A and B are shown apart, each in its own frame.
Chain A
Amino acid sequence: SQKIEQNSEALNIQEGKTATLTCNYTNYSPAYLQWYRQDPGRGPVFLLLIRENEKEKRKERLKVTFDTTLKQSLFHITASQPADSATYLCAPGGADGLTFGKGTHLIIQP
């Protein structure tokens, strides 16, 4: 069955540094991959979508890569700020829709 793996432990990053989150998937060949941000007690919020034929996608301080050979996506936040602290969900997708990972809890320390 499909398996999505994200860092289960919280990631602590110092303010101003680049935060890098990893999403690995197995038994799956997604046509695209989405990233969402989720704050406590709130619903996920869409951040970025990257397609299988795209190596990299950027939006302001966010950058996503998609390596279909490694079956991995990396999510980068540059010049991180305490307001970036949240849980980030990786969601590879295909014809049947999205499969969400359990998320990585990111903490940006001032």
Chain B
Amino acid sequence: DSGVTQTPKHLITATGQRVTLRCSPRSGDLSVYWYQQSLDQGLQFLIQYYNGEERAKGNILERFSAQQFPDLHSELNLSSLELGDSALYFCASSVGQNPREKLFFGSGTQLSVL
């Protein structure tokens, strides 16, 4: 158990809808990262937050947004969903904002857009 909690584990929705994925980092970790994993693209970095502030941005679509709350949990909002958004979404956390730090991953949210 990594200590990172993601909910829900599975999400099935329709095109055009909006969903929210939730992540609670390990106790004491200040950084939260969001990744998208699909069979053809591998693990793609979306965005990082550190202590409530956006720290780094990757290949995140404009239809997607995220935030980190004062209690350090994070939410990833996906809107106007398309079939191609179907993927496994992982949250990871680390102690600080140093990019060399190892990441602790949650078990992921499997999103299916029908």
Question: Footprint of B on A, CB under 8 Å?
Answer: 31-32, 34, 36, 41-46, 49, 89, 93-103
B-chain residues with CB within 8 Å of residue A41 when the two chains form the complex: 107-108
B-chain residues with CB within 8 Å of residue A98 when the two chains form the complex: 45, 99, 103
Asked, given contacts A43-B105, A43-B107, A46-B104, whether A97 binds B42 with beta carbons under 8 Å apart, the answer is no
Question: Is A42 a contact of B107 with CB atoms below 8 Å?
Answer: yes
Question: Is B100 a contact of A49 with CB atoms below 8 Å?
Answer: yes
Q: Interface size (B, Cβ < 8 Å)? A: 23
Which residue of B41, B56, B106 is within 8 Å of A97 (Cβ)?
B56
Closest chain-B Cβ to A29's Cβ sits at a distance in Å of 14
The residue in A31, A36, A97, A101 that gathers the most chain B C-beta atoms within 10 A of its C-beta is: A97
B-chain residues with CB within 8 Å of residue A42 when the two chains form the complex: 107-108
Question: Footprint of A on B, CB under 8 Å?
Answer: 2, 4, 33, 35, 41-45, 48, 56, 58, 90, 92, 99-100, 102-108
Closest chain-B Cβ to A26's Cβ sits at a distance in Å of 16
Question: Is A93 a contact of B2 with CB atoms below 8 Å?
Answer: no
Question: Is A101 a contact of B42 with CB atoms below 8 Å?
Answer: yes
CB-based nearest A residue for B90: A43
Closest chain-B Cβ to A49's Cβ sits at a distance in Å of 6
Question: Is A34 a contact of B48 with CB atoms below 8 Å?
Answer: no
Which residue of A31, A49, A96, A100 is within 8 Å of B102 (Cβ)?
A49
The residue in B35, B41, B45, B102 that gathers the most chain A C-beta atoms within 10 A of its C-beta is: B102
A-chain residues with CB within 8 Å of residue B4 when the two chains form the complex: 43
CB-based nearest B residue for A6: B42
Closest chain-B Cβ to A43's Cβ sits at a distance in Å of 3
6 closest A-B pairs by beta carbon, nearest first, are A43-B105, A102-B42, A100-B43, A46-B102, A97-B99, A44-B105
